[in-house]
Structure 1
Amino acid sequence: MITGGGGLIGSRIARLLSRVEARVTVLDRLDAYPDPVHKLFGLDSLDVELVVGDICERALLRRVLGGADYVVHAAAYADVAACTRHPGIAFAANVRGTQTVLEEVAASRARRLVFASSAAVYGSGGLESSGPQRFSEEQPLVPISVYANSKLWAEHQIRLLLGAPGGPEYTVLRYFSVYGDPQVPKVGSHSWMVAWLAMHARVGLPLRLNGGGGQVRDLVHVEDVAEATVLALVEPAAAGQTINVGTGKPTSVRRVAELVAAHYPEATFVETPRPAGDPLGGYADTTRADRLLRWRPRFDVRGGVARYVRWLTETPHAVPDWLTAGS
């Protein structure tokens, strides 16, 4: 069972599980994007059971969980800027919703829950450091946004409620900067930079570099993220572990913009202030992912950006109307 399986990451996980003939149930409110975007994710083309509903609806959640051996909890109000603007909504989805999921999983027959956490829990790391920082799972966590706080709370709560002898196991995955087709940005967001920059370039808008683009990200392709998540469901060594899911390679926002602009010769750049809650960033220590999941990413940033641009060329209707209205 996948909560939030109607989104970008959840739908890729569902697709991969379907390929290995797992019986998949998706629980999603389907309100994070307009219908045309959800159609791009292709969930309706998969052999999965789709249940439209909220993880806070306990009776519904209990029914959907009834036959699940494994659970991926990916449902969240998953946008840094939106969580900052609407902390009450973030609390309802990411805290109260997660608490409901954990209580019901603890009482279910499920063998393991994999939680989609975020590298946002690291914040900007040690501010005294210079240069790109390598984030390891054991270092102190300094979240600087509502979204990051909600993810860190969920990590602690998972450890409190799951993992007891005889009960469901858990694995926490800290996703770094996920990108890749068919990703579509949201209004007012400053996340999902590959999609943002590529779509701006396509419609002739300047490529916006918040804070000058010096922030560092570890860009990990959504197909790689889905593979790591499925492995975390079944790898024995992953039980009770927190694992980074990234490439282990730092890339600046400006460098991503340059890779995008290479495909759009007329592209221009504009520098804007860095928004609140936008971390300076860093890159993943991937030692645990390699050792515990036996997983390494297949996509590098250059190839992943080129793939996204090709997809956008082949799928021009993916550019949302609100963005084209600004061109």
Structure 2
Amino acid sequence: MSETVVVTGAAGFIGRWVVSELLDRDYNVVGLDDFSHGKPENIAEFDADDQFEFHEGDICNEEIVEQLIDNETAACIHLAAEIDVHESLERPNDHFDANVVGTRNVLEACRETDTRLGLMGTCMVYDMADSTEGIDETHPVKPASPYAGTKLAAENIAESYYHGYDLPVTILRPFNTYGPYQEVGVVPIFVDRDLQGKTLKIYGEGTQTRDLLYVTDCARFVIDATFSDAAVGEVLNAGTGEDVSINELAELIASEKTDIEHIEHHHPQSEIPKLLCDPSKANDLLGWEPEYSLEEGIKELRDWLANQANE
């Protein structure tokens, strides 16, 4: 009999791909999403799959979370969150409720049932890094926005459940993930604007760098880490080990007739100038490494967006 995995944020960008990968691995999947960020169409293709069960609901509702995570649950992958850095500076309370209170509800339900938990963190908790060496899991943290602060708080609470209750928790910090079904993020925005012949707009000078991870590589990482006994109690990064500046990214994506323009940054204080992942720990513990290069990932995304536009 197949094991059951609960996925919060199942209809979101990464959640949709985690669900897909779990189903491919023959797990039963119970999804939860309130559609504040996720969309029904993201998971529509799974409707006919007998191994997928979906519930619309909010992780801030303790009762719903307790109903879904029971003694038959093999693991919970907790992806549901408020995720926008800029919005967190405008509406910090929303991020606190979802990312801290919601995570507490998930942790309590997992504690009651001794369910292993894969908690989605973020690379945005790390302090600025100017060196050419990648950021590993021991790098200092310095949350520069309420988004990063609430995600780090959620990680700390989860770690307390590991140490205090021996709950099998793994904290996941994938670097900037992109791919089909993503609505926000520099890569899909640039590709979509290029397909429409619109100017690519870069905030600030464009020298800030990102380590860009294709979403199917991220989904494999999330599942592998959640189910790894060696990863319990650990923080794990996932990335390619290569970064690209936003200027270089724009040049890579822009077609011959597409213009590139620099505009004023709305919240420069929240910007991290360099994000380069050191993924060696995930490779050592899980044997995980990314399969897609940036060029291959962008091509996959471009083809998908073009097909969406023609439907």
Does TM-score exceed 0.5, indicating one fold?
yes
2:17 to 12, 23, 46: 12
What SS does the aligned partner of 2:302 have?
A: helix
Q: Does 1:48 align with 2:52?
A: yes
Task: Quote the residue 1:159 is aligned against.
Answer: 159
Contact 1:102 1:162 in 2 (8 A): no
Task: Quote the residue 1:265 is aligned against.
Answer: 256
Aligned alpha-carbon RMSD (Å): 1.8
Contact 2:30 2:53 in 1 (8 A): yes
Q: Does 1:30 align with 2:30?
A: no
Q: Which residue type is aligned with residue 146 of structure 2?
A: V
Contact 2:11 2:43 in 1 (8 A): no
What SS does the aligned partner of 1:134 have?
A: coil
Contact 1:245 1:286 in 2 (8 A): yes
Contact 1:137 1:244 in 2 (8 A): yes
Q: 1:99 to 1:29 in 2, by over 3 A?
A: same
Alignment of 1:192-203 (within 5 A): 192-203=185-196
Alignment of 1:114-153 (within 5 A): 114-125=118-129, 129=130, 132=132, 134-153=134-153
Q: Return the alpha-carbon distance in structure 1 between the equivalents of residues 174 and 47 of structure 2.
A: 25
Task: Quote the residue 1:109 is aligned against.
Answer: 114
- Cα deviations across residues 107-131 of structure 1 (Å, max 9, x unaligned)? 1131x10111000001423xxx4x5
Contact 2:18 2:220 in 1 (8 A): yes
Q: Does 1:77 align with 2:92?
A: no
Contact 2:161 2:167 in 1 (8 A): no
Q: 1:298 to 1:93 in 2, by over 3 A?
A: same
Contact 1:11 1:42 in 2 (8 A): no
2:219 to 226, 231, 241: 226
Name structure 1 gaps, 5 residues minimum: 186-191, 319-327
Q: How far off is 1:168 after superposition? A: 2.7
Task: Quote the residue 1:243 is aligned against.
Answer: 236
Q: Which residue type is aligned with residue 55 of structure 2?
A: V
Q: Which residue type is aligned with residue 138 of structure 1?
A: T
Contact 1:132 1:250 in 2 (8 A): no
Q: How far off is 1:303 after superposition? A: 1.1
Q: 1:255 to 1:102 in 2, by over 3 A?
A: same
Alignment of 1:83-102 (within 5 A): 83-102=88-107
Contact 2:230 2:285 in 1 (8 A): yes
Alignment of 1:277-296 (within 5 A): 277-296=270-289
Q: 1:316 to 1:48 in 2, by over 3 A?
A: same
Q: Does 1:204 align with 2:208?
A: no
Q: How far off is 1:203 after superposition? A: 2.0
- Cα deviations across residues 129-152 of structure 1 (Å, max 9, x unaligned)? 4x5552111121111111111111
Q: Return the alpha-carbon distance in structure 1 between the equivalents of residues 39 and 217 of structure 2.
A: 25
Q: Return the alpha-carbon distance in structure 2 between the equivalents of residues 120 and 41 of structure 1.
A: 31
Q: Does 1:168 align with 2:167?
A: yes
- Cα deviations across residues 232-255 of structure 1 (Å, max 9, x unaligned)? 122221111101011111111111
Q: 1:199 to 1:227 in 2, by over 3 A?
A: same
Q: Which residue type is aligned with residue 120 of structure 1?
A: M
Q: Does 1:274 align with 2:276?
A: no
Q: Which residue type is aligned with residue 19 of structure 2?
A: A
Q: Return the alpha-carbon distance in structure 2 between the equivalents of residues 180 and 40 of structure 1.
A: 15
What SS does the aligned partner of 1:102 have?
A: helix
TM-score by length of structure 2 reads: 0.92
- Cα deviations across residues 5-53 of structure 1 (Å, max 9, x unaligned)? 1101111111111111111101110121565xx3477443544110100
Q: 1:3 to 1:298 in 2, by over 3 A?
A: same
Q: Return the alpha-carbon distance in structure 1 between the equivalents of residues 306 and 207 of structure 2.
A: 28
Q: Which residue type is aligned with residue 149 of structure 2?
A: N
TM-score by length of structure 1 reads: 0.87
Q: How far off is 1:83 after superposition? A: 1.5
Q: Return the alpha-carbon distance in structure 2 between the equivalents of residues 235 and 104 of structure 1.
A: 20
Contact 1:106 1:168 in 2 (8 A): yes
Q: How far off is 1:162 after superposition? A: 2.6
Contact 2:42 2:181 in 1 (8 A): no
Q: How far off is 1:89 after superposition? A: 0.8
What SS does the aligned partner of 1:284 have?
A: coil
Task: Quote the residue 1:189 is aligned against.
Answer: none
**Matched residue pairs, number?**
302
